[in-house]
C-alpha cells in the first residue's frame, strides 16, 4: 500500500497530508512532483490544498494542465482512488474528474474555522469506515469553496448519491445554518459516479489528533486504508 | 572614474531632495573623495535613511539587554535566533510596515508579511507562524471621531486584514495571533507590525556575510521593476503630508505565490551546502543586500546590473539599485558549485542569474553594461553612516485634578449594562471576524490559535522524524495609551503582559523582539518618549529574563505634524517543554474552582491594602482613568498606567509555569484589558466548542476586596491571572502558589447554568445570561466593521 501526495508549485497542505498518513497513521507515502507523469506505483493519490500556481486566474485552472494531471486522470479512469482536498477539490472540478465548479465564498472573504459536516454516504472508499449520518468537525480554510452546478447536475448528484459530505450544525439539525460558503445544497464534498474520485473543501488531514482540536478527519483516511488493505488481501 | 553618462549632476540641493542633509553630504564626499554621481547618491540616501541606518535610535538601543544563555544570534542579522533544545533553534523577528499600509492598505500589509517571512527563511529557518499587531483609528464614530473618519478607518482595516490574510494564506504559514487596538491617533497613521517565527537546525543557520573571494553572487526570485523605489527612504523615513497619497507608486506589490516558491527553492539550495551567504532584498533592495553582505563579510562585491532580471525596459542603474520589488534574494555560492544552486531555482521555475562575484578590498562596484555605475567602499557606507544624539526634552507635566479622572459609581450600582457596553467595545470585543480571515491551522502545528490561549502556541515537529516534544508560545503586546501617559511604565507593561501571556499558556518566556513605533525623532519630546521607552524595556526585559534579539524602529509615524502615541510592540517567545501541557483560557468543567493568582506581595486579603504602593482613593481613580473601561464608559483617557512591580510579575509567571508543568489547573487567563470581569467572561465564552455549538459554561463569583466595585471588576493592574481548578487539586494549587509567594484566592465556581454572576461586598453587581454577554462580545466588531 502506498499513498502519493502531489506537489504543485503553491501547494501548501502537501506536508500536512504527508504527515497525517506517514506519521500519524504510519502508512507509506511519498510526494509526487507536478512535472512527473509517473505516479510511482501509488495506490491512492491525494491532491492537497494550497494555491497551485498562485491560483491567480481561477482556483485549480492552471494545475489541471500540469503533466502529473494526465497520469492522475488515467489513474482515476482505471478505478484508482483519488482524493482532492480544498485546492485539490477545485483542481478535480477544473479537470472534469468531478462535476461542478467553485465560486467565491458567499461572504466574499477567506474563512478559516472549524465546521461540521455530515457523512451522507458510506459506500465510497472515502467513507466506508464512517457511520451514515456521522458528524465530523473539520477545519476549512478557503476563499473559493462555494460549490455550484446547474440544477440538473445537482439533481443527478443527489439521485446518484454522489453528495457524500454536507455542511450542518454541530448537532446536525440545521444544514443551512452550518453552511459557511453558500455551497448549493450545502454540499461540502462529492464523489464521481464511479465513486473512486472524491473532493471536499474541509481539511481531514488537519484534523488527525486531539491536540489539533479534532481527530475526526481520520475516519476518511481510515476508510481509504481499509479499501487498500482489502484490495491487497484480495490479490494475495 | 568612468561614470554613467548623461546623468544629473549631483548638487547639495538634489541631495536634500533625497533627504540627505548638508553634513551627511559632506560625509559622503569625504568617504568617496569626490562628489557622488546620482546612483551613488541614491545608494547613500537609502542606506543612511532612518529606516535602514537607525541613525536616531542607535545610541539608545545600545541600552537594551541582548544577551542570554539561549541567544544564538542577537540584533544585527535578518532575525534573532534562540536555542530551543534538541539541536533546534527558533528564528523570529517583528517589523513594521506602517506607512505603506496607510497609502495602500492591502499591498502595504501583504508586503509587510512577505518581508518578515523572507527575513526568517533567509536565515535557513522554515516559517511556522505569523502574528500581526495592528493599530487603527476608531472604527465607530464617537468622541474625536467623525463617521467619515470611522468609515475610512474601517476601509483601512479591511484592506490590511485582507492583505495579511492573502499573503500568509497563500504562502502557507498560519497566522496564529497578534492583537488589534483602536485609538484616534492611528487614524492617519495605522500600525502594521508583523512577526514571523521559523525553525531550523542549529548548525544550519545562515548568515548574510559575503565570503570567499571570487565566489559568485547570484540573484534569485522575482524580476526587478520600478515599484517601491525609495520605499524605505521616502515613505518610511519622513512624516506624512497631504501629498503622501501621491506616493502610492512607492508602495511595493506582493506576490505570495512567488515567495512560496522562493522559500522552497532557498531551503532546498541551502541543503546542498553550496550556499555561502544569503540576504533578502527588502528595504532598499539590491543596494542594501549587496552593501550589507560585503560590509559584514569584510569583502568587496562587484555586480553587473545588465544581468539583473528586469520586468521593465530602460531602467537606469539608479532605478535598479533602489527598486524594492518584492520576492527577491541575493546569495553567494561556492565557486564551482553555482550550477547546483541554479538548477534548484530552475526546478522551482524561478529566475536565478550570476550577477557578479565577491572581491577583495572592500569596494562595492556596480557595473552596468561595461560601465561603472557606482563605486563605494561598502563598510563605511553600511557601518559608518551618521549617528545622531537627538535632543531630548520631557514634555511639560500634565496638570490633572480629580475632575479629570474617572468618578466611580456609588456602591451597589448594578454594572451589567456597563459591562455589556465594555464587552461590545472594539478594544475588548472578539476579533474573530478578523482572525477567521487568516489560515490558522495550515502545517498542523497550531495547538492554540487566536483567542484559545493567552499566547499563540505552535508545536515543533522534528524536521526529520516528525516527532513532537516541545511547543513554542508567542504573544505580542503594547498599550499605546499607557505609553502616551507614561512611556517608561507603559513599555514595562508591554513586556510584562507579553511575558505573562506566554506564561499563561504554560510556556517559559525566553526571548523578545520589539517594534518601536514613534513620531518624528526630530522632535525632542518624541525622543524623550523613545528614550524612556527603551529604559522601560531594558528594565522589564532584564527582570523577566527575555533579552531582545532583534526588531525594528519605525519613526516619523505622524501626519500633518501630529504624532501617534508612542507604541512599542513587544513579542515574547516562550518554550513549553511538554507540548501536551498547553494551558488555554476556556473553563472546562462545572464545579471547578475559580482562583485568582496575584503576584503582588503576600498578605491575607487582596485589594489596595495588600499592595506595596497602596493607592489612596484619588490614586485609584487616577490609575483607573487609563483603563479600557474608563475610555469605553466615560470617554476619559487620563491619569497614569497602573503602577508595575516586575518582581510580582516574575513570581506570578513562575507560578503559572509550574502549575502548567504539574498539570494542576484546567485553564489560565491573565487579567489585562477590561480587568477581572472580562477575564472571567472570556473564559466562559471560550468554553463553547465551536461556533453554533451549545451554550458556554457560566460563573458565579464573589468579590469582597476594599476597592470600589468598578475598580474591583475592571481595573487593569498587572501580575494577576485567573485559573480554574478541579476541586480535588485545589490544595495542591494553593500550595504551589505559596511556594512562589503568589497570593491565591478562591473567587467562586464554574457553573453549568447559563448565568454569569458577580457579587461585590454582598451585592450583585453583574448578573446576565451568558448568551447575551457572548453575543455582545462575539458579534459587535463584526457589526461595526460590516457597516459601509
Mode of pairing for the β-strands spanning B71-73 and B126-136:
unpaired
Please give the average per-residue pLDDT across A31-57, as a whole number.
95
For B278-311, write each residue's pLDDT tens digit: 999 987 889 999 999 999 999 999 999 999 999 9
Which range of A187-196, B204-213, B361-370, B606-615 scores highest in mean pLDDT? It is: A187-196
The chain B residue lying nearest A52, using CA atoms, is B257
Contacts of B534 (CB under 8 A, 6+ apart): B60, B61, B63, B64, B491, B516
Q: How confident is the model at residue B236 (pLDDT cuts 50, 70, 90)?
A: low
Q: State chain B's maximal CA–CA distance in angstroms.
A: 88
The predicted pLDDT at position B600 comes to 87
Bridging pattern class, strands B88-96 and B191-201: antiparallel
Judged against a pLDDT cut of 50, whether residue B503 lies above it is answered with yes
Q: How far is A224 from chain B (nearest CA, A)?
A: 21
Closest by CA to B588, choosing from B473, B493, B723, B711, is: B723
What's the mean pLDDT in B664-668?
Answer: 97
Task: Determine the average pLDDT of the residues in B327-343.
Answer: 96
Look at residue B496 in the predicted model and tell me its pLDDT.
98
Does the pLDDT of residue B650 top 90, yes or no? Answer: yes
CA distance A152 to chain B (A): 32
pLDDT of residue A233: 87
Is B695 within 8 Å of chain A by CB?
Answer: no
Measure Cα distances from B16 to B13, B234, B250, B321 in Å: 5, 12, 19, 19
* Spatial separation of the C-alpha atoms in residues B111 and A182, rounded to whole Å: 31
Q: State the pLDDT at residue B247.
A: 57
Q: What is the reported pLDDT for B605?
A: 37
CA distance B717 to A152: 63
pLDDT value at position A159? 98
User: What pLDDT shows up at residue B283?
Assistant: 78
In angstroms, rounded to a whole number, what is the distance separating the alpha carbons of residues B368 and B357? 14
Residues 126 to 185 of A: which have CB under 8 A from any B CB? 137, 139, 141, 143, 169-171, 177-178
Q: What is the mean pLDDT of residues B105-121?
A: 96
Nearest to B420 by CA among B187, B182, B677: B677
Confidence of residue B691 (pLDDT cuts 50, 70, 90): low
Q: How many CA atoms lie within 13 A of B527 on its CB side?
A: 16
**Binary contact (B257, A111; C-beta < 8 A):** no
> Which conformational region is residue A80 in: left (phi greater than 0), alpha (psi within -120 to 50 degrees), or beta?
beta
Q: Looking at the complex, does the CB of residue A109 fall below 8 Å from at least one CB of chain B?
A: yes
Task: Say which residues have a Cβ less than 8 Å from residue A114's Cβ, sequence separation at least 6.
Answer: A137, A138, A139, A140, A213, A214, B690, B691
Q: What is the CA radius of gyration of chain A?
A: 16
**φ and ψ at B457, to 5 degrees?**
-125, 125
d(Cα B11, Cα B25) in Å, to the nearest integer? 9
**Residue B240 near chain A (CB below 8 Å):** no
pLDDT band at B615 (very low <50, low <70, confident <90, very high): low
Q: Which segments within B349-467 are labelled E, that is strand?
A: 351-359, 363-368, 371-377, 446-448, 456-461
Q: Residue B464: pLDDT band by 50, 70, 90 thresholds?
A: confident
Q: For chain B, what percent of residues have pLDDT higher than 90?
A: 84
Cβ contact (<8 Å) for A55 and B690?
no
What pLDDT shows up at residue B5?
45
In this predicted structure, the answer to whether residue A223 has a pLDDT above a threshold of 50 is yes
- Find all residues with CB under 8 Å of B208, minimum gap 6, and list them: B77, B78, B122, B277, B278, B279, B289, B292, B293, B296
> Which residue range is the domain that position A45 belongs to?
3-235
Rounded Cα distance, A86 and A64, in Å: 14
CB contact under 8 A, B466 and A51: no
3-state SS assignment for residue A71: helix
Give me the pLDDT at residue B240, please.
62
For residue B439, give the nearest of A54, A112, A169 by CB distance.
A112
Asked if pLDDT for residue B453 goes beyond 60, the answer is yes
Please determine, for residue B419, whether its predicted confidence score (pLDDT) is greater than 50: yes
| Window A:47-66, CB contacts with B under 8 Å | 49-51, 53-56
Q: Which of B436, B444, B447 to mutate to test the interface with A (most CBs of A within 10 A)?
A: B444
- Per-residue pLDDT band for B77 (boundaries 50, 70, 90) equals confident
Q: Whole-angstrom Cα distance, residue B111 to residue B256?
A: 9
Nearest by CB: A9 against B166, B348, B579: B348
B269/B204 Cα distance (integer angstroms): 12
Q: Hey, which residues does B15 pair with through a beta bridge?
A: none
Query: In the predicted model, what is the mean pLDDT of chain B?
Result: 92
What contacts B373, CB < 8 A, 6 or more positions away?
B3, B4, B37, B39, B305, B317, B321, B366, B367
Q: What is the pLDDT of residue B602?
A: 53
- The pLDDT of B655-672, averaged and rounded, is 97
In chain A, count of helices (H) and strands (E)? 6, 11
Beta bridge partners of A191: A198
Q: How far apart are CA B385 and CA B57, in angstroms?
A: 13
The tens digit of pLDDT for each residue in A129-159 reads 999 999 999 999 999 999 999 999 999 999 9
Please, what's the largest Cα pairwise distance for chain A?
51
Which residue of chain B is at minimal alpha-carbon distance from A208?
A: B444
Residues of A known to be catalytic: 86, 203, 205
What lies within 8 Å, CB to CB, of B783 at 6+ separation is: none
Q: Which of B258, B349, B447 sits opposite A211 (nearest CB)?
A: B447
Q: Is B362 helix (H, G, I), strand (E, B) or coil?
A: coil
Binning pLDDT at 50, 70 and 90, where does residue B239 land? low
The 3-class SS string of B468-537 reads EEEEEEEEEECCHHHHHHCHHHHHHHHHHHHHHHHHHCCCEEEEEEEEEECCCCCCHHHHHHHHHHHHHH
Instruction: Average the pLDDT over B237-254 and give the result.
Output: 65
Q: Is B462 on the interface with A (CB under 8 A)?
A: no
Encode burial over B203-216: b for 16+ CB neighbours within 10 A, e otherwise. ebbbbbbbbbeebb
Q: Is the pLDDT of residue A219 over 50?
A: yes
Average pLDDT over residues B230-259: 69
| Confidence band, pLDDT 50/70/90 cuts, at residue B753 | confident
Taking the C-alpha atoms of residue A218 and residue A214, their distance in angstroms, rounded to an integer, is: 9
Mutate to test the interface with A, among B327, B442, B462 (most CBs of A within 10 A): B442
Please report which confidence band the pLDDT of residue B788 belongs to, taking 50, 70 and 90 as the band edges: low
Judged against a pLDDT cut of 90, whether residue B645 lies above it is answered with: yes
B579 lies within 8 A of chain A by CB = yes
d(CA B145, CA A36): 58
Q: Contact B441/A22, CB-based, under 8 Å?
A: no
Secondary structure class of B269 (helix, strand, coil)? helix
Instruction: State the CB neighbour count (10 A cutoff) for residue B19.
Output: 17
* Whether pLDDT at B612 is above 50: no
Residue A130 to residues A118, A197, B731, Cα–Cα distance (Å)? 10, 17, 44
Q: Cβ separation of A211 and B580 shorter than 8 Å? A: yes
Q: At B116, is the secondary structure helix, strand, or coil?
A: helix
Query: Mean of the pLDDT values across residues B368-395?
Result: 95
Q: Do A114 and B691 touch (CB under 8 A)?
A: yes
- Tell whether the torsion through CA atoms of A201, A206, A209 and A214 is positive or negative: negative
* pLDDT given at position B606: 36
pTM, entire model = 0.95
Nearest to B437 among A50, A110, A170 (CB): A110
* 3-class secondary-structure state, position B146: coil
Tell me the C-alpha distance between B403 and B399, whole Å. 11
Place of cell 524612556: B532
CATH number for the domain spanning A214: value is: 3.40.50.880
Q: Residue B614: pLDDT above 60?
A: no
CB-CB under 8 Å, A51 with B257: yes
Cβ contacts of A139 on chain B, cutoff 8 Å: 441
Cβ–Cβ under 8 Å, residues B95 and B116: yes
pLDDT at B628 over 80: yes
The residues pairing with B748 across neighbouring beta strands, listed in sequence order, are B594, B701
- Domains annotated on chain B, with CATH: 1-57+207-385 (3.90.650.10), 394-429+583-788 (3.90.650.10)
Question: Which residue of B170, B436, B444 is in closest CB contact with A16?
Answer: B444
Question: What pLDDT, on the 0 to 100 scale, is given for residue B233?
Answer: 58
Give the C-alpha separation, B79 to B333, whole Å. Answer: 21
* Total of domains in chain A: 1
CB nearest B172 (choices: A50, A178, A205) = A50
Residues of A in contact with B461 (CB under 8 A): 19, 23
Residue with cell 506582493: B254
Taking 3-state DSSP, the helix, strand and coil percentages for chain A, each rounded to the nearest 5, stand at 35, 25, 40
Above 70 in pLDDT, residue B232?
no
Mutation for testing the B interface, residue in A112, A175, A203 having most B CBs under 10 Å? A112
Tell me the helix, strand and coil percentages in chain B, rounded to 5.
40, 25, 35
Secondary structure string (H, E, C) spanning B770-786 = HHHHHHHHHHHHHHHHH
Distances (CA, A) of A185 to A148, A175, B274, B752: 9, 9, 54, 36
Q: Per the structure block, which three cell numbers stand in for A46? A: 491525494
Amino acid at each position: 500500500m502506498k499513498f502519493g501526495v502531489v506537489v504543485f508549485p503553491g501547494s501548501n497542505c502537501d506536508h500536512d497530508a504527508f504527515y497525517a498518513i506517514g506519521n500519524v497513521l504510519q502508512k507509506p507515502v511519498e510526494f509526487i512532483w507536478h512535472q512527473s507523469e509517473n505516479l510511482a506505483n501509488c495506490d491512492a493519490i491525494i491532491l492537497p490544498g494550497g494555491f497551485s500556481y498562485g491560483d491567480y486566474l481561477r482556483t485549480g485552472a492552471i494545475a489541471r494542465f500540469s503533466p502529473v494531471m494526465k497520469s492522475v486522470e488515467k489513474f482515476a479512469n482505471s478505478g484508482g482512488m483519488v482524493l482532492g482536498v480544498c485546492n485539490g477539490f477545485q483542481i478535480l472540478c477544473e479537470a472534469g474528474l468531478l462535476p461542478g465548479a467553485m465560486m467565491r465564498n458567499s461572504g466574499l472573504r477567506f474563512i478559516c474555522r472549524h465546521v461540521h459536516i455530515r457523512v451522507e454516504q458510506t459506500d465510497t472508499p472515502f467513507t466506508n469506515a464512517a457511520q451514515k449520518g456521522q458528524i465530523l468537525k473539520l477545519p476549512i480554510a478557503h476563499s473559493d469553496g462555494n460549490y455550484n452546478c446547474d440544477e440538473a447536475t445537482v439533481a443527478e448528484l443527489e439521485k446518484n448519491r454522489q453528495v457524500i459530505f454536507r455542511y450542518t450544525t454541530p448537532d446536525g439539525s440545521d444544514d443551512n445554518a452550518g453552511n459557511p460558503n453558500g455551497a448549493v445544497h450545502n454540499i461540502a464534498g462529492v464523489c464521481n459516479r464511479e465513486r473512486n474520485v472524491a473532493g471536499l473543501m474541509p481539511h481531514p488531514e488537519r484534523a488527525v489528533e486531539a491536540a489539533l482540536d479534532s481527530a475526526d478527519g481520520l475516519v476518511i483516511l481510515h476508510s481509504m486504508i481499509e479499501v487498500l488493505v482489502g484490495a491487497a488481501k484480495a490479490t494475495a | 572614474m568612468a561614470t554613467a553618462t548623461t546623468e544629473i549632476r549631483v548638487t547639495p540641493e538634489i541631495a536634500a531632495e533625497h533627504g540627505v542633509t548638508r553634513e551627511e553630504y559632506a560625509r559622503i564626499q569625504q568617504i568617496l573623495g569626490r562628489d557622488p554621481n546620482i546612483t551613488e547618491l541614491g545608494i547613500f540616501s537609502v542606506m543612511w535613511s532612518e529606516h535602514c541606518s537607525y541613525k536616531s535610535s542607535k545610541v539608545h538601543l545600545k541600552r537594551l539587554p541582548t544577551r542570554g544563555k539561549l541567544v544564538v544570534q542577537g540584533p544585527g542579522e535578518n532575525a534573532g535566533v534562540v536555542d530551543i533544545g534538541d539541536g533546534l533553534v527558533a528564528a523570529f523577528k517583528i517589523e513594521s510596515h506602517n506607512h505603506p499600509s496607510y497609502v495602500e492598505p492591502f499591498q502595504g500589509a501583504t508586503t509587510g508579511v512577505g518581508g518578515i517571512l523572507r527575513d526568517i527563511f533567509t536565515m535557513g529557518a522554515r516559517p511556522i507562524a505569523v502574528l500581526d499587531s495592528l493599530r487603527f483609528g476608531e472604527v465607530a464614530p464617537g468622541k474625536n471621531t467623525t463617521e467619515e473618519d470611522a468609515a475610512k478607518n474601517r476601509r483601512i482595516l479591511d484592506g490590511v486584514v485582507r492583505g495579511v490574510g492573502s499573503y500568509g494564506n497563500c504562502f502557507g504559514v498560519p497566522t496564529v495571533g497578534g492583537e488589534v487596538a483602536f485609538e484616534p491617533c492611528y487614524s492617519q497613521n495605522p500600525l502594521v507590525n508583523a512577526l514571523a517565527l521559523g525553525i531550523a537546525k542549529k548548525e544550519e543557520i545562515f548568515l548574510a556575510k559575503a565570503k570567499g573571494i571570487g565566489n559568485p553572487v547570484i540573484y534569485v526570485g522575482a524580476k526587478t521593476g520600478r515599484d517601491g523605489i525609495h520605499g524605505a527612504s521616502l515613505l518610511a523615513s519622513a512624516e506624512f503630508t497631504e501629498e503622501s497619497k501621491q506616493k502610492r507608486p512607492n508602495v511595493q506589490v506582493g506576490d505570495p505565490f512567488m515567495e512560496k516558491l522562493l522559500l522552497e527553492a532557498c531551503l532546498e539550495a541551502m541543503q546542498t551546502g553550496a550556499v555561502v551567504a544569503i540576504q533578502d532584498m527588502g528595504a532598499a533592495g539590491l543596494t542594501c543586500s549587496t552593501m550589507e553582505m560585503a560590509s559584514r563579510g569584510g569583502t568587496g562585491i562587484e555586480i553587473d546590473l545588465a544581468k539583473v532580471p528586469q520586468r521593465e525596459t530602460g531602467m537606469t542603474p539608479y532605478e535598479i539599485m533602489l527598486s524594492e520589488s518584492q520576492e527577491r534574494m541575493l546569495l553567494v555560492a561556492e565557486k564551482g558549485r553555482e550550477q547546483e544552486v541554479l538548477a534548484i531555482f530552475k526546478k522551482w521555475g524561478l529566475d536565478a542569474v550570476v550577477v557578479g562575484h565577491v572581491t577583495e578590498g572592500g569596494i562595492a562596484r556596480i557595473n552596468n553594461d561595461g560601465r561603472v555605475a557606482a563605486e563605494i567602499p561598502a563598510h563605511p557606507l553600511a557601518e559608518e553612516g551618521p549617528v545622531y544624539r537627538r535632543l531630548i526634552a520631557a514634555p511639560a507635566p500634565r496638570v490633572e485634578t480629580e475632575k479629570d479622572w474617572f468618578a466611580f459609581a456609588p456602591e451597589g450600582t448594578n454594572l451589567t449594562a456597563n459591562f455589556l457596553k465594555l464587552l461590545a467595545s472594539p478594544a475588548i470585543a472578539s476579533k474573530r471576524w478578523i482572525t477567521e480571515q487568516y489560515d490558522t491551522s495550515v502545517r498542523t502545528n497550531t495547538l492554540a490559535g487566536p483567542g484559545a490561549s493567552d499566547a499563540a502556541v505552535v508545536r515543533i515537529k522534528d524536521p526529520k522524524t516528525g516527532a513532537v516534544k516541545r511547543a513554542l508560545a508567542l504573544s505580542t503586546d503594547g498599550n499605546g495609551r499607557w505609553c502616551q501617559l507614561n512611556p517608561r511604565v507603559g513599555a514595562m507593561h508591554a513586556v510584562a503582559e507579553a511575558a505573562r501571556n506566554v506564561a499563561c499558556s504554560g510556556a517559559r518566556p525566553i526571548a523578545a523582539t520589539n517594534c518601536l513605533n514613534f513620531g518624528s525623532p526630530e522632535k525632542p519630546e518624541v525622543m524623550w518618549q523613545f528614550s524612556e521607552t527603551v529604559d522601560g524595556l531594558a528594565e522589564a526585559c532584564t527582570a523577566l529574563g527575555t533579552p531582545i534579539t532583534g526588531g525594528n524602529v519605525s519613526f516619523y509615524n505622524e501626519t500633518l505634524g501630529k504624532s501617534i502615541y508612542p507604541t512599542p510592540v513587544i513579542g515574547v517567545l516562550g518554550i513549553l517543554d511538554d507540548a501536551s501541557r498547553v494551558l488555554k483560557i476556556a473553563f472546562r468543567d462545572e464545579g471547578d474552582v475559580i482562583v485568582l493568582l496575584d503576584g503582588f506581595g503576600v498578605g491575607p486579603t487582596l485589594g489596595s491594602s495588600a499592595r506595596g504602593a497602596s493607592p489612596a482613593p484619588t490614586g485609584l481613580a487616577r490609575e483607573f482613568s487609563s483603563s479600557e473601561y474608563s475610555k469605553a464608559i466615560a470617554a476619559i483617557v487620563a491619569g497614569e498606567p497602573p503602577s508595575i512591580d516586575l518582581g510580582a510579575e516574575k513570581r506570578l509567571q513562575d507560578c503559572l509555569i509550574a502549575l502548567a508543568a504539574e498539570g494542576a489547573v484546567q485553564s489560565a487567563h491573565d487579567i489585562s484589558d477590561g480587568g477581572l470581569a472580562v477575564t472571567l467572561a472570556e473564559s466562559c465564552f471560550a468554553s463553547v466548542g465551536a461556533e453554533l455549538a451549545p451554550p458556554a459554561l457560566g460563573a458565579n463569583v464573589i468579590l469582597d476586596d476594599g476597592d470600589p466595585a468598578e475598580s474591583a471588576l475592571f481595573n487593569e493592574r498587572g501580575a494577576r491571572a485567573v485559573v480554574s481548578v478541579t476541586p480535588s487539586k485545589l490544595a495542591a494549587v494553593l500550595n504551589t502558589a505559596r511556594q512562589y509567594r503568589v497570593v491565591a484566592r478562591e473567587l467562586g465556581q464554574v457553573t453549568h447554568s447559563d448565568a454569569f454572576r458577580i457579587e461585590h461586598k454582598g451585592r450583585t453587581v453583574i448578573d446576565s445570561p451568558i448568551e447575551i454577554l457572548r453575543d455582545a462580545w462575539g458579534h459587535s466588531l463584526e457589526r461595526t466593521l460590516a457597516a459601509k
